Amino acid sequence: MKSSDDSILENSSKNSDTLPEKGKKLEGKGTLFIISGPSGVGKGTLCKSIMDIGNISISVSCTTRSPREGEVDGVDYRFISVDEFNKKLDQSLFLEHALVHGDMYGTLRGEIDMVLESGDDMILEIDVQGAFQVKRMMDCVSVFVLPPSIEALEERIHKRNADSEEKIELRMRNAQYEISRAGEFDFSIVNDLLDNAVLDLKKIIIDNRNLSRRV
């Protein structure tokens, strides 16, 4: 019988010891990279850690949830009211939207289109529901971020000290389902040691740029 660690690691890509030379498309649109995974897996930290490759932006999603300690409006998320969210929804401004753990999240289409048309790449850090919506609508490269184990994920969520026990239980139930769909993404990486996960994500992005230059 496989342990939970074995099941999670089975879908993961191998860590990279070296990074290919940086590449950038000579012309044309940028690439949309979807970074998804369960709550608490460290998607945000991972995305912010690869920005030094250049010519890439992180989309700032809208949410109706309250800011956590240290989060900045307009940087981590656009924190808006339910009424504001529904107004944007009525105006069809969202590329995707989803109800996640009792709060609404949505990605503004205009920001995505503007960056991609400029030729730069865009990172969309997003929940699994939203990721599948976007995959159906746009060309993209999808990456699923896995925890080293379910136990490690639960420990991270508890250490964050941002949710009630009831909400943590909900996040963990959802995580089991989300992890089961990791195989439907183009790539998966394990966020055990952050430095290794950063190398893995950078390699995916740079390899895609170098491939685009040869097409």
pLDDT of residue 177: 93
pLDDT of residue 209: 92
DSSP secondary structure string for all residues of the chain: ---HHHHHHHTPPPPPSS-PPP---SSS---EEEEE--TTS-HHHHHHTTGGG-SEEE---EESSPPPTT--BTTTBEE--HHHHHHHHHTT-EEEEEEETTEEEEEEHHHHHHHHHTT-EEEEE--HHHHHHHHHHS--EEEEEEPS-HHHHHHHHHHHT-S-HHHHHHHHHHHHHHHHTGGGSSEEEE-SSHHHHHHHHHHHHHHHHHHHHH-
Q: Where are the domains of the chain?
A: 23-214
- 23-214 belongs to which CATH class? alpha beta
Q: What is the pLDDT of residues 62-87, one digit of tens each?
A: 999 999 888 899 888 999 999 999 99
**Predicted confidence band of residue 165 (pLDDT cuts 50, 70, 90):** confident
Q: What is the pLDDT of residues 91-145, one digit of tens each?
A: 999 998 888 878 999 999 999 999 999 999 999 999 898 899 999 999 999 999 9
**Predicted confidence band of residue 28 (pLDDT cuts 50, 70, 90):** confident
> How much is the pTM?
0.81
For 159-174, b/e burial (b = at least 16 CB within 10 A) is eeebbeeeebebbbeb
Over range 39-67, report the average pLDDT: 94
